[in-house]
Structure 1
């Protein structure tokens, strides 16, 4: 087709239409085909990953069926477009429209009362319905006066955030030494996880992008020493977070106190949360801590569409300052895509994850987050337990306050038959991540380690906590179903099975029992699945 003279036009304002250069309507007849074209037309560079499209249009189907439905829909679109079929292309990973051959008509700045986005369009899929509601909301937001979130984003802009770390006034005592040690720890943590600029004195004229952290040692009792930490806005002097913790050893290293290490992690989480709140949780033009604050919950949602969005966000915002950390998280995404079977190209997923992990370690070999994600990739993608264990061990030596480092160390010990070490490391990770968004992930690891140790009571309790903290997190529920069956708790097993049916498209008890690749390998190794109890669930469901 002549690309310059025969462009297709996709109309998104009002009723969805596809027309050729002569104005003839060649809109595909199937609703899913129209929806797919609308999803592509509203995406950056007119392209999306296959997994993202599958999650939006076939969220209630399992992976293989969703992939097959996508292939059928692509075939139907090409058939309906006829001689214009080459505007649509698809690789094993990405589906796209040719920007040179397609014009998109979408009045994002429509006045109130104007044409609605995809007017009258409905599709019986909850993920697509959520997307459609969000897109229509964006148009309404343009029509409405500037929202509070937009005003905050305008005020704080895209400049780098600055964090001033201040110790108390006493410069000679043991208290001052502890304060300095804590500030060193904060510096290491923040440098690993983002691009906040760190200062050690308040600027003469601080801007709205400046926070101040006051680190003050306290003595809560005989033979004890502790820290009280507060974080405030430099301009307003408004405190947005304040907590304290104590240690029983007045002269010991801060690295020997899990309570003080946890305090550092909670501060870091609070700073990132405050930044996201102030900027309206936006991502465009912002810097790595906010991006990671957005991406990490998406990664650990274990939903294919969310994971794909996190991957795209990390790709789009990668630069020389954050490359190693972002590559590490991309390697972790590859692990999740493989284990959760979000990919229809497992070999390519494995190779991509291994390559990203290697690049991350090469770029920043003394970053505990990089080492942790690389350790997981070595173990779960390459099955190199020894190499993964070395990386995880280095991660906790480099930064013992990083709960993800202890998680990776627990995982390495788990697969190298060091059951006691695995449980100890997982419990440290849980302690460090307490009261943070990462706690559910670390409690899940405690559950696995306890199961491996044969402590079924602790395994159940930890997995139940993980499931309660993350209502859409499927892995603990899989292991709870196995444990409840072993313990003869039919009612709990029934409830958990129903949860998995709601959360996991295509879940079946047959796959749970018989699929060798279903992700409950530790339960099968422990031989705790009681098929007699599972059979009762089959009769009841």
Structure 2
């Protein structure tokens, strides 16, 4: 009997026995057929499919979406529509009339390459399926050994919530979003579950304001991982403010993430995945050459243990940061490697908001692909409006489009949210560069100084200050910074700084500050 062919390695493609294309246009329709074709008996329960493709919808909506998708699939299959069957509980493919390429172990193509369905449950299934197919032929690796999803419980279970719990839940949700963003293969929940981490917020309102207390709890050992509090004169204004709420929640999450690697747990995904990312971030944000190079090894190790788009995107960002600091040559090989990392990250984790945000950052800053950057950043900001990487990327993209007020507001938001966190120097440097472009000299100086103070090895803010002070006719301040920079950039040369277009001072050059600086610094040592 001639069979309908399901090609699942590489681009998803369904062809008739005569070679005509039967592939449906919709991504979820393709994903549904792939999930049926990849299952042992080519059958799945309706509820299982609904949970994988429409996990963000209520049951009734998900059921309706599944019915519509099945209709669309049957239309695309045409004369072969009867290979797809369904009843009240299940959906299936006729196993006697289809064939797949899943047993083709010689194929070098990835399972469902390029199929992006932004649903975390589908992404989780896709990652597991890819890892299963990568096993050597004949092995039988238990399902339990595949990467488990880390669960962060944010607040009270939904069935116990009341109107009074809405305000605390806003804080729970924001802290949970940030923590989840930095842990590969993780999710937030408010259901009754055996969670890896629990977030609880208490709010006590009085006439003179409100006290907000957040506790992050290790439910396995019944210990507090981190706790913090703040006071708000006007609780409603606090909860509506992206900057106030964002800064508080970001710092709670950042300090929690720093402490997670120290939890006394054996072989815990929560501990190991947070440890990889936090170690790499700390190394990059030292802006020390050796530490930044070491961060690449950390991320390679993380990716060896588990394929995750977040690790690859962070490696691309680390390499970009090294290029900006002058520790990595910006040549064709480096740019090709970074592009490949971003493409692979998107394939592995298409629904990961932090992967999208970090990729957007690289696209905006290194490649200047501003439309791509804005699209990726928008994806991340829809999930978390306080994502620092996405805010920066969106700011750069808006500035490139000439939307300077929006760019400034976004940069100011990221600068404010990052205060006191390990990202403070990075965000202040970005804000300084934008202020230089906008000729906001005093603000650029203030942000550059703060970035330099927070990170003693950070070259970029010191480079900006030399030109800014010289343009202000503060020659003494400029020369003081020159001597300071020479201690961390031993081959620094003032003439190269002023005249060599390959030296990383493009923003000062484009904004005219170096022209003014040459008048006072040229010829000095």
Give the TM-score, by structure 1 length: 0.61
Q: 2:257 aligns with which of 255, 261, 272?
A: 272
Which residue of 1 is the match for residue 501 of structure 2? 516
Task: Give per-residue Cα distances to partners, 1:399-449, cap 9 Å, x unaligned.
Answer: 112122212222222333332222211110012112211111111112112
Out of 495, 498, 501, the residue aligned to residue 483 of structure 2 is 498
Q: Please name the residue that 1:246 is paired with.
A: 232
Matched, 1:402 2:387: yes
Paired with 1:203 and 1:366, the residues of 2 have a C-alpha distance of 23
Change over 3 Å in CA distance of 1:169–1:279 after alignment to 2: closer
Task: Confirm or deny: 8 A CA contact 1:337 1:349 kept in the other structure.
Answer: no
Closer, same or farther in 2 for the Cα pair 1:506/1:376, shift >3 Å? same
2:415 to 430, 453, 456: 430
In structure 2, do the counterparts of structure 1 residues 283 and 461 end up closer, same or farther at CA, with 3 Å as the change threshold?
farther
Task: Describe the shift of the 1:238–1:180 C-alpha distance in structure 2 as closer, same or farther (beyond 3 A).
Answer: closer
Q: After TM superposition, give the deviation of residue 368 of structure 1 in Å.
A: 3.0
Return the offset for 1:170: 12
Whole-Å separation in 2 of the counterparts to 1:322 and 1:433? 29
Deviation at 1:353, TM superposition (A): 0.9
Distance 1:355 1:525 in 2: 30
- 1:465 is matched with 450
2:262–2:271: 8 Å Cα contact kept in structure 1?
no
Displacement after TM superposition at 1:493 (Å): 0.7
- Alpha carbons 1:413, 1:419 under 8 Å: kept: yes
| Contact 2:349–2:355 (Cα < 8 Å) also in 1 | yes
2:205 is aligned to: 219
Describe the SS at the equivalent of 1:317: helix
- For the 8 Å contact 1:165–1:212, the answer to whether it is kept is yes
1:292, CA displacement in angstroms? 1.0
Deviations 1:87-118 (A, max 9, x none): xxxxxxxxxxxxxxxxxxxxxxxxxxxxxxxx
Distance 1:455 1:255, change over 3 A: same
1:351 aligns with one of 326, 336, 343: 336
Task: Specify the SS of the correspondent of 2:228.
Answer: strand
1:1-400 maps to which residues of 2 (within 5 A)? 165-167=154-156, 174-195=163-184, 212-221=198-207, 227-232=212-217, 234=219, 235=221, 237=223, 240-244=226-230, 246=232, 248=234, 250=236, 254=239, 256-277=241-262, 287-318=272-303, 323-344=308-329, 346-400=331-385
Q: How far apart are the structure 1 equivalents of 2:433 and 2:354?
A: 22
CA distance in 1, matches of 2:168, 2:304: 33
Query: Given the alignment of the two structures, is residue 534 of structure 1 paired with residue 518 of structure 2, yes or no?
Result: no
Please list the CA deviations of residues 206-261 of structure 1 after superposition, one character each: whole Å capped at 9, or x if unmatched. Answer: 9xxx6553211232546x666321235554645743222538463x8956442222
Alignment gaps of 5+ in structure 2: 1-147
8 Å contact from structure 2 (residues 218, 225) kept in 1: yes
SS at match of 2:513: coil
Question: More displaced, 347-356 or 240-249?
Answer: 240-249
Residues 339, 466 of structure 1: CA spacing in aligned structure 2 closer, same or farther, 3 A cutoff? Answer: closer
Change (3 A) 1:226 1:364: farther
2:164 and 2:506 map into 1 onto residues whose CA distance is 49
Shift of 1:371: 1.7
Structure 1 residue 362, shift from structure 2 partner: 3.4
Unmatched 5+ residue regions in structure 1?
1-158
- TM-superposed deviation, 1:473: 0.7
Q: Distance in 2 between matches of 1:394 and 1:199?
A: 20
Distance 1:411 1:175, change over 3 A: farther
Distance change (3 Å), C-alpha of 1:476 and 1:345: closer
Contact 1:262 1:432 in 2 (8 A): yes
Aligned residues: 374
| Partner SS state of residue 219, structure 1 | strand
1:173 CA drift (Å):
5.2
Contact persistence 1:331–1:353 (CA under 8 A): yes
Pair 386,313 (structure 1): closer, same or farther in 2 beyond 3 Å: same
Q: Do the aligned partners of residues 398 and 353 (structure 1) sit closer, same or farther apart at CA in structure 2, a change above 3 Å counting?
A: same
Counterpart Cα distance in 2 of 1:376 and 1:165: 28
Structure 1 distance, partners of 2:373, 2:495, is: 33
8 Å Cα contact 1:474-1:504 kept in structure 2:
yes
Cα distance in 2, alignment partners of residues 198 and 474 from structure 1: 38
Change (3 A) 1:199 1:370: closer
Deviates more, 1:188-197 or 1:514-523: 188-197
Give the Cα–Cα distance (whole angstroms) in 2 for the partners of residues 283 and 183 of structure 1: 23
Quote how far apart the aligned CAs of 1:457 are.
0.9
Once residues 303 and 321 of structure 1 are traced to their aligned partners in structure 2, the CA distance between those partners, rounded to angstroms, is: 27
Given the superposition, is the C-alpha separation of residues 522 and 400 from structure 1 closer, same or farther in structure 2, using an over 3 Å criterion? same
Tell me the SS of whatever aligns to 2:486: helix
> Could you tell me how far 1:172 is from its partner in structure 2?
6.0
Q: Contact 2:285/2:422 (CA < 8 Å) preserved in 1?
A: no
Matched, 1:415 2:404: no
Q: Aligned with 1:231: secondary structure? A: strand
Cα distance, 1:294 vs structure 2: 0.6
Deviation at 1:177?
1.1
Query: TM-score, normalised on structure 2?
Result: 0.63
